[in-house]
Amino acid sequence: MKYFLLIISIFLTIDISAQTSLSVSISADTIGLEDAIKVTYKLSGAQEKLEILPWEGLQQVAGPNVSSSFSFVNGVSYKEYSESYILVPKYEGIIYIPSASVVIDGEPIETEPIELFVVAEPTYQKNKSLERKSIKKSPTQKSKLDDEAEYQRLLKKRELAKKKKKF
């Protein structure tokens, strides 16, 4: 009976947590000069403070909005920490969303920077409607809207690259 209780207590105290991962997401990949973008850094499997490189070409208008959660169910723990920021671009062109990093158990984890395309005209309504339509279809479906949006994004990227070469 002693051994049975010992084994049960060992299993109850073991922390079986998910592998730690760090990710970054943005609300849109193309925005206008007057549009705002939401950037969210999410750390799963740990609750550590993130180190984020300075914003270059972006002005922070809100944030950090911090969210932290911890759950322990049936001997399994799950931790999550996230920081969100609202940013507006300072100029037209390609801007990089900076990477974030954290050190967990002596091991550094880092995200990759994300390319953000900034164009002169506002794109908020376009992005919002595309987002709504993409939610309604299944992940395996492809629509003409997706092809058109991808084509427009590539055209904007090409225009920005040409403008950048002129300078």
In this predicted structure, what is the pLDDT of residue 78?
83
In this predicted structure, what is the pLDDT of residue 108?
84
Q: How many domains does the chain have?
A: 1
In this predicted structure, what is the pLDDT of residue 147?
61
Composition of the chain by helix, strand, coil, percent to 5: 30, 45, 30
What CATH number is associated with residue 113? 2.60.40.10
DSSP state of 121: S
User: Structural domain of residue 151, as residue ranges?
Assistant: 15-166
For strands 100-104 and 51-52, give the pairing: antiparallel
The residue type of 115 is: E
* Spatial separation of the C-alpha atoms in residues 28 and 40, rounded to whole Å: 12
- Determine, yes or no, domain membership for 1: no
In this predicted structure, what is the pLDDT of residue 3?
55
In this predicted structure, what is the pLDDT of residue 33?
86
In this predicted structure, what is the pLDDT of residue 133?
32
- Determine, yes or no, domain membership for 142: yes
In this predicted structure, what is the pLDDT of residue 67?
86
- Determine, yes or no, domain membership for 5: no
In this predicted structure, what is the pLDDT of residue 146?
54
**Per-10-residue mean pLDDT, the chain, length 167:** 52 52 86 88 80 85 86 84 89 88 83 87 55 36 54 72 63
In this predicted structure, what is the pLDDT of residue 165?
61
In this predicted structure, what is the pLDDT of residue 46?
77
